[in-house]
Amino acid sequence: MEHISTTTLIITLIIMVVVSAYFSGSETGMMTLNRYRLRHLAKQGNRAAKRVEKLLRKPDRLISLVLIGNNLVNILASAIGTIVGMRLYGNAGVAIATGVLTFVVLVFAEVLPKTIAALYPEKVAFPSSFLLVPLQIIMLPLVWLLNSVTRVLMRMVGIKADVVISSALSKDELRTIVNESRSQISRRNQDMLLSILDLEKVSVDDIMVPRNEIVGIDINDDWKAIVRQLTHSPHGRIVLYRDSLDDAISMLRVREAYRLMTEKNEFTKEVLLRAADEIYYVPEGTPLSVQLVKFQRNKKKVGLVVDEYGDIRGLVTVEDILEEIVGDFTTSMSPALADEATPLNDGSVIIDGSASVRELNKAFNWRLPEEEARTINGMLLEELEEIPAAGTRVRIEQYDIDILDVQDNMIKQVKVIPVKTLRESITE
């Protein structure tokens, strides 16, 4: 290179640094792209996104191409830098060139382009794909050789080179993405998406109307009592039974019953039974995601929840499951949490014994145990293993619970006092 001028070598050195910066930025930009946004843009017809997606289908080839190009220009830049240093400063120029070139490469060919690419991956990766695609074709033999040697070395040390990494998201990963999408998704829609993901964790036992709250009509009652119940019923479907709910016979469609009686001008129990459908039974413990599909498949809206012995435990409807996703409907006849829980100024909460433990945990961000019992009453009876007297205090997890009222062998009202831990007190 003695016949090449020093100025030409310096210009070549600057070009090598720029090329090195291009490869470094391209690598970081390609690897930090949002793959799901990239897939979305490619499906919309974005040509640059399609090119990048094609390159990323074989990341080993892309990485090899970038590393080959980056290392070639860096080694060449090192050689040119040494020659320039020796021409300008003699033997001392080797050390000077090494120090200066190291600083320049680190700042302008590594840190700066990679930082920019990490901040704006699309703006870096999409334009760089114009050059990377033809470069990959030109350097394919060298890339193939490098990858082949690498695979052989990996096999020698017992590392599998043909492992396929799935890009599919797990439920927990999807939950994290939804939680971090607050700037793109409204809070209400975010809560709905999270509720859908939770459907598999919630069973019909958690949302069903308990047996003692099921509205039903005893078909053996006198006709006037039956008509009175029909007239005042807020529900579209009512369980028909004989003497006891254990002898449930059918599910009455109230609107259909009125239509038949009006058309035929017959107001009898026989006409009432014609407007009833066969009862649809739901096994206890069925996840809501499964039950929603079963309701749709069987074209049912209401089901009676039964245990392993066939005893009726409660009633669940399609509306109950939908409320888990979108929140309570205004037409819901179940008491709202606001009616069952009253927060006090001191941080404690007055709660009805029939309140759902799961709903309380969601509303107040508590961690009361909800695996064994559905209501506050059930949770306390499970903990105490007896019916307590009013005035009893129980500590469960980090909560002091004062039992305020006990009637008819049931805990009617309690006061929950969250207990501050030592760590929380120190933090404050």
Pick the range with the lowest mean pLDDT from 10-14, 273-277, 329-333, 356-360: 329-333
Three-state SS letters, the chain: CCCCCHHHHHHHHHHHHHHHHHHHHHHHHHHCCCHHHHHHHHHCCCHHHHHHHHHHCCHHHHHHHHHHHHHHHHHHHHHHHHHHHHHHHCCHHHHHHHHHHHHHHHHHHHHHHHHHHHHCHHHHHHHHHHHHHHHHHHCHHHHHHHHHHHHHHHHHCCCCCCCCCCCCCCHHHHHHHHHCCCCCCCHHHHHHHHHHHHCCCCEHHHHCEEHHHCCEEECCCCHHHHHHHHHHCCCCEEEEEECEEEEEEEEEEHHHHHHHHHHHCCCCHHHHHHCEECCCEEECCCEHHHHHHHHHHHCCCEEEEECCCCCEEEEEEHHHHHHHHHCCCCCCCCCCHHHHEEECCCCCEEEECCCEHHHHHHHHCCCCCCCCCCEHHHHHHHHHCCCCCCCCEEEECCEEEEEEEEECCEEEEEEEEECCCHHHHHHC
* More confident: 178 or 386: 386
Pick the range with the lowest mean pLDDT from 10-14, 32-36, 183-187, 190-194: 183-187
> What's the pLDDT at 187?
76
> What's the pLDDT at 286?
92
> What's the pLDDT at 422?
38
Pick the range with the lowest mean pLDDT from 20-24, 197-201, 410-414: 197-201
> What's the pLDDT at 362?
80
pTM: 0.59
Q: Express each pLDDT in 224-240 by its tens digit.
A: 888 888 888 778 888 99
Q: Express each pLDDT in 285-334 by its tens digit.
A: 899 989 999 999 999 989 999 988 889 999 999 988 888 888 766 444 45
